[in-house]
Amino acid sequence: INSIKYGGHTEFIPKRCITIGILEIFMSKELRFYLEHNWQSAVLRKAIFLDPTPSFPATYLKEHKNSSLTVSINVLREYV
């Protein structure tokens, strides 16, 4: 959850959260990712085409055996 979803209104953001690491993420049975904002086109491009690197953790997502990515037209608009 981030303030973009709520129009920048940080009062709607939970006061506490739990951060999980890459190990916990990869131990899950399935991964589902959703990209919906136009600025995420760079994330998509790097996640797909870069070799896995700790400096950009999203590059590891393609190595999970059961992951999927849902992308909105806003993200793809630059490419189509």
CA 7, 8, 9 angle in degrees (round to 5)?
95
pLDDT digits (tens, 9 = 90+) for 10-29: 776 677 777 788 888 889 99
CB proximity list for 73: less than 8 A, separation 6 or greater:
none
pLDDT the model gives residue 64? 92
Cβ 49 vs Cβ 38: under 8 Å: no
pTM passes above 0.85:
no
74: number of Cβ within 10 Å? 14
Q: How far apart are CA 57 and CA 32, in angstroms?
A: 15
Above pLDDT 90, what percent of the chain?
A: 31
pLDDT digits (tens, 9 = 90+) for 47-64: 999 999 989 988 988 899
